[in-house]
Amino acid sequence: MAILVTGGAGYIGSHTCVELLEAGEKIVLLDNFSNSKPDVVRRIKELTGKDFPVYAVDLLYEPSLRRVFTEQRIDSVIHFAGLKAVGESVRIPLDYYHNNITGMLLLCKAMATVGCKRLVFSSSATVYGTNENVPFRENYPLSTTNPYGSTKLMIEKILRDVWVSDNDWSISLLRYFNPIGAHKSGQLGENPNGIPNNLLPYVAQVAAGRLPELNVYGNDYDTPDGTGVRDYLHVIDLAKGHLSALHYVRNYKGADAINLGTGKGYSVLQIVAAFEKACGKKIPYRIAPRRPGDIANCYADVTKAKEVLGWEAVRGIDEMCADSWNFTHLNPNGI
C-alpha cells in the first residue's frame, strides 16, 4: 500500500515526499506542474535513492484521477495540491473556488470509491481571519479575509461533513503558519514562478540581486519594531509534522484541526536581519503602506500538536534563513 501525495512536486509537498521516503514509506506523487517543476521529482529521487510512480494529473480531470486509484494501491492521501496565492485569489476568485474546492470534492469521491479514507489536508492559519488574540488556538472562531483562505475554511467544513456522514474516515486538518527554509542539501526549496508572493523567497531574490528591494508593508503595528509578526517554521519541521499526522490518522477516526507552527513570532525586520546574517549582505527595503486585511500578530498555540501528534518544531530562525539562502545560492536561476 502507498501514500498518494497530491502537489508532491511543490514546496511543502516535495520536502514531505523526502521525509516519507526516508521513513520507509511508499509514495505515489501526483502533480499537474502548474506551479512546480518536473526536475523536482528527479531531485527527490536522487536525495532519497528511491523510485516511485509519478502522475502528471490535474485533480479537476476526473478520469485521470480515478485511474491513479485504479492503478495504484493507495490507503492514505496527503493533499497539498491547490492554488495558494492570497493576492491572486482576490483577482481571480472563481479560479480559486473552482480549483481548490472542486479538486477536493473529486479527490474525496475517488478515495471513497476504493475505500481509501485516511486523509491529511493542507489547511492554513488564514482560517483564523483577523483575530488578534494570540496565540491562535484550534477552538477559536474562524473567518477569512480573502478567497484563498475561504477555500481552506470551506474545505475544512466539507471534510468535517464527510466524517459525519461516514465515521470510518480519518482526517487531519493541518493549519500551517508560515513555512520557510529549504532542504539542507540545497536541492529543494521554495521555487515560485514569477515574482514571489511570500516574504522569504522575495528576500532571497533581493539578496541574489534578482529583485531591487523588499517592500515592508507597514511599520506602525503594535509590535516591538512596528512590523508584522508571524510564526515562521522550517519546512523540514513542517514535513515531519505530516509524518506525525499520517501516523495519527492510521490510528484514530475523526476530523481534527491541528496547528503546525513554532509558537513564536518574528517580525519582518527580524527576518530581514536574520537573512542578512545568513547571506552576509544588506537587504535593501522600503516601508510601504499596510495591506488590507493584514494583522499585527499571528502565531500558533502548539499545545495540541505536541499532545496529539507528539510533534514540535525544533529548528530556529537562523537555520531557516541559512537553508533558504543556501538553496537560492546553489540555484541562482531556480529549479
Radius of gyration of the chain (CA): 19
Report residue 245 as a C-alpha cell: 499526522
**β pairing state of 229-230 and 266-267:** antiparallel
Q: Is residue 32 a contact partner of residue 41, using CB atoms and an 8 Å limit?
A: no
Task: Write the CB contacts of 42 (distance below 8 Å, at least 6 apart in sequence).
Answer: none
State which amino acid sits at residue 92: I
- Name the packing angle between helices 235-249 and 11-22 (round to 10°): 60
Q: Which of 96, 148, 202, 232 is catalytic?
A: 148
Residue 185 CB: number of other CB atoms within 10 A?
15
> At how many degrees (to 10) do helices 317-330 and 268-279 cross?
50
**DSSP code of residue 73:** -
Q: CA-CA distance, 184 to 236, in Å (whole number)?
A: 9
How do beta strands 2-6 and 74-79 pair? parallel
- Tell me the three cell numbers of residue 135: 496565540
Q: Is 55 a catalytic residue?
A: no
Crossing angle for the helix pair 62-71 and 103-113, nearest 10 degrees? Answer: 30
Question: Distance between CA atoms of 78 and 241, rounded to whole angstroms?
Answer: 12
Q: Which residue spans within 38-169 are E strands per DSSP?
A: 54-55, 74-79, 118-124
Helix axes 103-113, 147-165, angle to 10 degrees: 20
Residues β-bridged to residue 122: 174
Mind telling me the catalytic residues? 148
